[in-house]
Chains A and B, each alone.
Chain A
């Protein structure tokens, strides 16, 4: 929870820091999100439904100056943590689930309908079956990508649309799944 004074201070910071991509108006809309996050808070583009959804149990959601588009869901279970760095966009219908640790770096671009979860054993009850996910800075993720638990992407990785990503990749990798082929 942040006080109104804090929010205003941050807004001033946005204006002064000649925030390249964000407008103060959008920031004010972002501030109308439920205050369940820590940090500078989203600079959200809230034109459209459904509103971004943030929920944490006892966990933490740490947002920098993040662009949250409609339909984004950030969910923590238990003491899970989601951290998103400054200048990152989470586009429409991105879903992030964390029971351990999901860290997204600065200035990442995450495209439509991407699923990011730290699950490695599906349908498990609490306690086990999860592994932390880490994305570096400047990561570009195409639409409809599934990021499984235990994924680590280095700085500047590019992930092609529709891929299923698991495992560790060094900085600057271009990663792609299997595109369709002509069957007959």
Chain B
């Protein structure tokens, strides 16, 4: 793992800022989010930054297409400098989600600090998510409430993280295995 800056998984042709960056920034500003350091990459659908009475702190983040950031009332969402949110990343914050610097979040990663719904009459159990620096999260991972991921950890594609991950650890999902062989003609 080099210490270089992470790059989104796009061809160099597509690594250009969106022509609508200005309007996306203004739209974010209307929700009370300072997105002046954010690089919005070209592509559709456009990223959505939705702030419903929470607080959002975005550093020099690279945001690819299809990203959705949602801070609910009382939720706090912070993303550090040089972090890359790749295509289709969704971050949902009802309590607090903190992401460090130089992280890479792959395609379709989902980070939630809430269950959004309850079973029966129990109150909502929102617990903050903290992700350290230099963390790489692979495609289609899910990070659920109350998880702390240490610096430099690597979460391999497809993992569903429900427990804390120490710094520098590697997390692998249950990978597909051979069930049986069939005759091929």
Contacts and interface: CB of A to CB of B under 8 A. Distances in A.
A143 B174 CA distance: 17
B104 A122 contact: yes
A25 interface: no
Given A122-B138, A123-B104, A123-B136, A172 B12 contact: no
Contacts of B137: 122
A124 B4 CA distance: 7
B179 interface: yes
A50 B44 CA distance: 8
Given A50-B44, A57-B13, A115-B140, A171 B184 contact: yes
Main secondary structure of the interface of B (DSSP, over half): loop
Contacts of A57: 11-13
Given A50-B44, A115-B139, A124 B7 contact: yes
A123 B177 contact: no
A52 B7 CA distance: 23
A164 B173 contact: yes
Interface string B100-139: 0001101110000000000000000000000000001111
A123 B14 CA distance: 16
Contacts of A123: 6-7, 84, 103-104, 106, 136
A38 interface: no
A55 B13 contact: yes
Nearest to A177: B176
Interface in B79-100: 84, 87
B9 interface: yes
B182 A156 contact: yes
Contacts of B169: none
B175 A174 contact: no
B14 A75 contact: yes
User: Chain A: interface secondary structure?
Assistant: loop
A156 B1 CA distance: 35
Contacts of A146: 139-140, 157-158
A177 B108 CA distance: 19
A77 B178 contact: no
A122 B106 contact: yes
Interface of A: 50, 55-57, 59, 75-78, 95, 97, 115, 117, 119, 121-126, 138, 144, 146, 148, 155-156, 158-160, 163-167, 169-178
Interface of B: 1-2, 4-7, 9-14, 44-45, 84, 87, 103-104, 106-108, 136-140, 154, 156-158, 173-184
| Closest CB pairs A-B (n = 10) | A123-B104, A164-B158, A123-B6, A163-B176, A156-B184, A178-B174, A172-B184, A122-B136, A177-B176, A175-B176
21 contacts: A56-B11, A56-B13, A75-B9, A77-B10, A78-B12, A117-B139, A121-B136, A123-B104, A124-B2, A125-B6, A155-B184, A163-B175, A164-B157, A164-B176, A167-B175, A172-B184, A173-B181, A173-B182, A174-B181, A176-B176, A177-B158
